[in-house]
Chains A and B, each alone.
Chain A
Amino acid sequence: TQLLEQSPQFLSIQEGENLTVYCNSSSVFSSLQWYRQEPGEGPVLLVTVVTGGEVKKLKRLTFQFGDARKDSSLHITAAQPGDTGLYLCAGNYASGSARQLTFGSGTQLTVLP
């Protein structure tokens, strides 16, 4: 079983602060996705990265895929209470089935007003 480690597990910050969430594996990803999940709902896709070194921006969110395609990060600038939620990374491994996503354990983010 491939493992995807996310850190930190919990993060509580004040509105306006910046933060970074990390997703790491010892194996190479074919692609990696970031999802956000709110209480009582299913995860919703934020972004998919597929190329080593790739950087994608979604408003105040910046996603980076590591050069070796073993890690990824999510950076939020000037966090707002609406960013509160569970952030999950999910990867397709280069040696595995393209039909099976492996999810990380998630980072629970709370942004205080």
Chain B
Amino acid sequence: NAGVTQTPKFQVLKTGQSMTLQCAQDMNHEYMSWYRQDPGMGLRLIHYSVGAGITDQGEVPNGYNVSRSTTEDFPLRLLSAAPSQTSVYFCASSSTGGWYNEQFFGPGTRLTVL
């Protein structure tokens, strides 16, 4: 099993450009989520999905879009990148969204917006 995979590993964008961060998992997990990690701020939830076709907003959703057409994939789209979106992005999955469940994280995408 590959677990949770993310591409690309690194990305540099100019302000106003758009891009999609890819996330895939092969554990048949229903629950997937996107976080951003900034220095001194831990991880903050951007969007999450409890199953194919169902998404919802987290703590910091502005400037990001998601969709979930399959159980395996959960891409994160930046429509018009801003310097404030410079961060490390992590995708995670778990078997359900319940309180006890372990979240499995991908290796992250380091994004710089100039």
Give chain A's interface residues, CB within 8 Å of chain B: 1, 4, 6, 9, 30-31, 33, 40-45, 48, 50, 88, 90, 92, 98-106
Are B97 and A98 touching (Cβ within 8 A)?
yes
Give chain B residues whose Cβ lies under 8 Å from the Cβ of A102. 59
Give chain B residues whose Cβ lies under 8 Å from the Cβ of A40. 107-108
Total A-B residue pairs with C-beta atoms closer than 8 Å?
60
> Any chain A CB within 8 A of the CB of B81?
no
User: Number of B residues whose C-beta is below 8 Å from A?
Assistant: 26
Q: Is the interface of A mostly helix, strand, loop or mixed?
A: loop
Give chain B residues whose Cβ lies under 8 Å from the Cβ of A1. 59
Contact of A45 among B41, B59, B90, B102 (CB under 8 A): B102
Are B107 and A88 touching (Cβ within 8 A)?
no
Are B108 and A42 touching (Cβ within 8 A)?
yes
A105 with B103, Cβ < 8 A, contacts A98-B97, A99-B97 known: no
Give chain B's interface residues, CB within 8 Å of chain A: 4, 31, 35, 40-45, 48, 50, 56, 58-59, 90, 92, 97-100, 102-103, 105-108
- In the assembled complex, how far is the CB of residue B21 from the closest CB belonging to chain A, in whole angstroms? 14
Contact of A88 among B43, B97, B102 (CB under 8 A): B43
Question: Once bound together, how far apart are the Cα atoms of A101 and B4, in whole Å?
Answer: 18
A50 with B99, Cβ < 8 A, contacts A1-B59, A42-B92 known: yes
Are B58 and A100 touching (Cβ within 8 A)?
yes
Cross-chain pairs A/B with CB under 8 angstroms, 17 sampled: A9-B40, A31-B100, A42-B92, A42-B107, A45-B102, A50-B100, A88-B43, A98-B97, A100-B48, A100-B59, A101-B103, A103-B35, A103-B42, A103-B43, A103-B44, A105-B40, A105-B42
